[in-house]
């Protein structure tokens, strides 16, 4: 865990501009959802969530490409070429966004449609579903960054989860710590957390592949 933290911090500092750029782009993907939320109708919110998920999926491909390149080379990397290379083939990103929308919609529907007496159970199941999706996507960072088909990338992520259960705990704990540290203000969440989590996923998966 210590080596992963040190590598993430060191490489993130060396690529501070790139990390900030990635974080900002990921944060901006929530704009459609926020804009449609002002309308207030369920259909508008659903449309905003759909647009946000698609944009998020496309941006994450470029973000993971940048993060995995940083983790493997360990030197300052120009962020724009990496992002551009990830965005020029958006098929995987759109598929990732659509899948994320389905996961979120199922979680929201599960909580919203469950009777009040079973709400706590529904919330727990929805949280478990979201956490599992976060883990699978995070552990598929190298393949997603390379623009591999979504099914292939997710299969690789699941394989890493099964091969390195200790890394799952490390990834979750470090993700939680990063969220707490960045949660000091909304600004720090938007400017740092997404990029740091992408770098963390890249370093964790790189360590797993090295152990293999």
CA dist., res. 23 & res. 12, Å (int) = 12
- pLDDT for the residue numbered 59: 95
Phi, psi of 91 (to 5 degrees): -60, -50
Cβ atoms 202, 67 nearer than 8 A: yes
Tokens encoding 105 = 């919609």
The pLDDT, as a whole number, for residue 183 is: 79
Any alpha helices (H) in 29-149, and if so which ranges?
A: 31-37, 42-73, 79-87, 91-113, 119-139, 141-145
**Residue 201: what pLDDT?**
96
For residue 27 the two structure tokens come to: 């944060």
User: How crowded is residue 209: how many other Cβ atoms within 10 Å of its Cβ?
Assistant: 14
User: What is the reported pLDDT for 88?
Assistant: 75
What is the pLDDT at residue 19? Answer: 93
pTM of the model: 0.91
Other Cβ atoms less than 10 A from the Cβ of 3: the count is 9
Digitized pLDDT (tens) for each residue of the chain, 212 residues in all: 678 888 888 998 899 999 999 999 999 999 999 999 988 788 999 999 999 999 999 999 999 999 999 998 888 888 988 888 877 778 999 999 999 999 999 998 888 888 888 888 888 999 999 999 999 999 999 999 998 999 999 999 999 999 998 899 989 999 999 898 887 777 788 889 999 999 999 999 999 988 77
pLDDT score of 136: 97
Polymer length in residues for the chain: 212
CA 159 remoteness from chain centre: 18
Cα angle, residue 195 at apex, residues 84 and 105 outer, rounded to 5° = 90
DSSP tag of 89:
S
Q: Which two tokens stand for residue 190?
A: 């938007």
CA distance 4 to 206: 10
- Look at residue 120 and give its three-state secondary structure: helix
């Amino acid at each position: 865990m210590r080596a992963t933290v040190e590598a993430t911090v060191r490489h993130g500092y060396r690529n501070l501009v790139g990390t900030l750029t990635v974080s900002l782009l990921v944060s901006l993907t929530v704009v459609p959802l926020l804009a449609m939320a002002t309308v207030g109708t369920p259909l508008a919110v659903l449309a905003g969530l759909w647009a946000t998920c698609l944009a998020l999926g496309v941006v994450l491909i470029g973000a993971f490409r940048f993060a995995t390149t940083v983790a493997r080379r360990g030197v300052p990397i120009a962020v724009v070429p990496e992002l551009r290379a990830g965005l020029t083939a958006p098929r995987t990103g759109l598929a990732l966004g659509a899948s994320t929308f389905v996961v979120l919609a199922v979680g929201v529907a599960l909580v919203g449609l469950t009777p009040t007496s079973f709400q706590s159970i529904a919330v727990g199941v929805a949280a478990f579903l979201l956490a599992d999706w976060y883990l699978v996507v995070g552990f598929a960072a190298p393949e997603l960054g390379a623009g591999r088909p979504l099914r292939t990338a997710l299969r690789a992520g699941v394989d890493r989860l099964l091969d390195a259960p200790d890394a799952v705990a490390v990834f979750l704990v470090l993700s939680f710590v990063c969220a707490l540290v960045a949660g000091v203000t909304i600004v720090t969440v938007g400017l740092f957390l997404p990029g740091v989590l992408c770098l963390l996923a890249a370093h964790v998966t790189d360590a797993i592949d090295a152990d293999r």
